[in-house]
Amino acid sequence: MALLQISEPGQSPKPHQRKLAVGIDLGTTNSLVAAVRSGSPETLADEQGHHMLPSVVHYQTGGVRVGLEAKQQAAEDPENTIISVKRMMGRGLHDIRQQGNYSPYRFVDTDGMPNLLTCTGEINPVQVSAEILKVLIARGKASLDGDLVGAVITVPAYFDDAQRQATKDAARLAGIHVLRLLNEPTAAAVAYGLDQRQDGVIAVYDLGGGTFDISILRLSKGVFEVLATGGDSALGGDDFDHCIAEWIMLQAGLKAEALSTSEQRSLLSIACKAKEALTNSNEVEVNFLNWSGLLQREECDDLFRPLIQKTLRAVKRALRDADLNVNEVDEVVMVGGSTRVPAVRHAVSTLLNREPLISIDPDRVVALGAAIQADVLAGNKRSDDMLLLDVIPLSLGLETMGGLMEKVIHRNTTIPIARAQEFTTYKDGQTAMSIHVLQGERELVEHNRSLARFVLSGIPPMVAGAAKVRVTFQVDADGLLSVNAQELSTGIESTVEVKPSYGLSDELISSMLQDSYQHAQDDADQRNLKEQQVEAERLLEAITSALAEDGHLLATEERLHVDREVAQLQQLAEGEDADAIKQAIEQTAKITDEFAARRMNAAVSKALSGHSIVDFDTEEQQ
């Protein structure tokens, strides 16, 4: 018979209506799957009792191996053993080459996609991630004894659209419905029940095996905003192990070059064990080859200090970006196995002036939060219980004349959301409009990330400014974007869904927000200049076409005067003095006022010819 779980009072599911869902922490080094059983979330283990699945995939002619088995192949068969695939998700080959630490792989450039050549053929990062997800999903199904309605998968807060889309594609490939992509720090906060409060600022300090992330969240009325993110994609628990390993070599008078590969590996594992032992005791005995000695906690703390200071600097920077001081942080959540190191906890609590939350296993807290959210989204709780909303991490917008970014949806807007804005044509008789979708906080197009381009064609020829094109941005609950453009008089439309595009390096993403603060003044100046230039061009365009049509209305001398002004404006518009351009625009407009008035009179008398004033008077009276 089916095995039952304990339900909340009055909420026993009807037979055959149990909705099973899992939360997945798809990590760089390790992944986890969790589910809510008998009302509390727990991570699910495999047959051997292991909860963590190393995020490693080994390709061989006989098939694919994932996890511990695959990890053991890393040394012998590095080309076919893919580790840290998360770093490649939604990235172009160019970005990955810049990261520089994937030397063992043979990359194949397929339209900029970083495909990997293994003995089973070409594979892409999405497929590799899908293999990891398949194992976790199978474990979830076996543990819960039934089909899953879906999964909540966590992603770093700084993941952009392309990286989120790639994660979602991996889930589709693995055959699981994605209930929601959830930011990792948000998931950790949910695991601690912080979403049940009304407001507060939460700092999530995530020191994993190979990456460090700091996220500053603000919770207001059940909505988590990401105020700032930061970190170091190449700093984690492994670096702590290296510190101890170097200490051992120094004490034992050994040189790294003199050690064989297997000796080096065993040295690292001894270092890791010593680190773990020092979590609960003040000294540990270390034995390596013929050497043995004692490592004191204090001595070890000294070894770790430079690494910890590095993380603290990132925390301070993130707080500065969020425009907060340390006393405005209400809660600190610790995530990642390395936050067990007492020196790390101590340093964080000293800096932020409060005790961090550590009661939930830091390795599992993200997966547990995802499981809680999955349980709600699957419909197993009363809907008023928790409605967790997320926000878009970076503003979305499009390119307007002059290479400026016009923001349509601002960052930290809660999702799902749809927002429309009307745009018009810039030139007479313009029949197509190129829509360039951008993400980022900066004013100029070139400083933001290009997400997609598409063309709306078939606009009927009209005078500049007469066509109305409505551009609608829609972001679904997972933070994925689709953009629709419609010309309102004819109804013709064109839509693009933002698919993974590539071209942004790791550091660029995390520094994008920071840049926008640092360059705020420059950006504002540049925007001002571009706006004046566009205005000048618009005016020149209008005068040129008016002169071509009604130039005869001006006397020769008047015409010369106008031409002089136009030439001067043209020259200034090419320069960089926004104020001068503005003055020239005003002057040119003033000088051509008289010309515009004459054109108007000419047009009116043309329209009136054949009618007497009386005709119009009568019409008015009717």
Partner 1 sequence: MAITMTTAAINHISQQIASRGKGVGIRLGVKTTGCSGLAYVLEFVDDAAPEDKLFEQGGVQLYVDPKSLVYLDGTELDFVKEGLNEGFKFNNPNVKGECGCGESFSI
The residue within the footprint of partner 1, chosen from 81, 143, 154, 532 (CB under 8 A), is 143
5 binds partner 1 (CB under 8 A): yes
Q: Choosing from 169, 184, 523, 565, which is the catalytic residue? A: 184
Q: Is 576 a catalytic residue?
A: no
Let me know: does 366 contact 25? Beta carbons within 8 Å.
Answer: yes
Residue 38 near partner 1 by CB under 8 A: yes
Stretch of residues binding partner 1 (CB under 8 A), selected from 8-16, 229-237, 309-317, 417-425: 8-16
25 included as an active-site residue: yes
- Does 69 contact partner 1 by CB under 8 A? no
Strands of 309-442 (E only): list them: 331-335, 390-391, 396-400, 404-409, 414-415, 417-423, 432-439
Give 4 or 119: the residue with its C-beta nearer to partner 1: 4
Does residue 46 bind partner 1 (CB under 8 A)?
yes
Catalytic residue among 71, 86, 275, 530: 86
359 makes contact with partner 1 (CB under 8 A): no
Contacts of 142 (CB under 8 A, 6+ apart): none
Query: Is 221 near partner 1 (CB under 8 A)?
Result: no
Contacts of 442 (CB under 8 A, 6+ apart): 405, 448, 512, 515, 516, 519, 523
Among 24, 28, 32, 40, binds partner 1 (CB under 8 A): 40
Q: DSSP characters for 190-233?
A: HHTTGGGSSEEEEEEEEE-SS-EEEEEEEEETTEEEEEEEEEET
Task: Considering the complex, state which of residue 144 and residue 157 has its C-beta at the smaller distance from partner 1.
Answer: 144
Residue 385 sits in the site that holds partner 1 (CB under 8 A):
no
- Assess 9 for contact with partner 1 (CB under 8 A): yes
Binding residues for partner 1, total number by CB under 8 A = 28
Q: Give 52 or 96: the residue with its C-beta nearer to partner 1.
A: 52
- DSSP-assigned letters across all residues of 35-47: EEETTEEEEPP-T
Residue 10 binding partner 1, by CB under 8 A: yes
CB-nearer residue toward partner 1: 40 or 544: 40
Tokens 């009363």, residue located: 382
Q: Does 382 bind partner 1 (CB under 8 A)?
A: no
Nearer to partner 1 (CB atom), residue 16 or residue 221: 16
The whole-angstrom separation of Cα 351 and Cα 79 is 43
| Alpha-carbon span 368 to 34, nearest angstrom | 6
Q: Considering the rule CB under 8 A, would residue 2 count as an interface residue with partner 1?
A: yes
CB of 3 to partner 1, least distance (A): 3
Exposed (0-12), middle (13-18) or buried (19+): which is 131, by Cβ within 10 Å?
Answer: buried
Assess whether 184 carries a catalytic annotation: yes
Provide CB contacts within 8 A for 587, sequence distance 6+.
565
Q: How many Å apart are CA 351 and CA 78, to the nearest integer?
A: 41
Is 467 a binding residue for partner 1 by CB under 8 A? The answer is: no
Q: What count of Cα atoms within 13 Å lies in the side-chain half-sphere of residue 446?
A: 5
Q: Are 508 and 233 in contact (CB under 8 A)?
A: no
Which residue in 58, 86, 91, 139 binds partner 1 (CB under 8 A)? 139
Quote the CA–CA distance of 89 and 110 in Å, as a whole number. Answer: 15
The answer to the question of residue 147 lying near partner 1 (CB under 8 A) is no
> Catalytic site residue 199?
no
For residue 77, count CB atoms less than 10 angstroms from its CB and return exposed for 0-12, middle for 13-18, buried for 19 or more: middle
Tokens of 173: 């490939």
Q: Which segment (38-46, 88-96, 485-493, 535-543) binds partner 1 by CB under 8 A?
A: 38-46
Interacting residues with partner 1 between 284 and 303 (CB under 8 A)? none
Active site residues: 25, 86, 184, 206
Report the interface residues with partner 1, using CB under 8 A: 1-12, 14-16, 37-40, 44-47, 139, 142-145
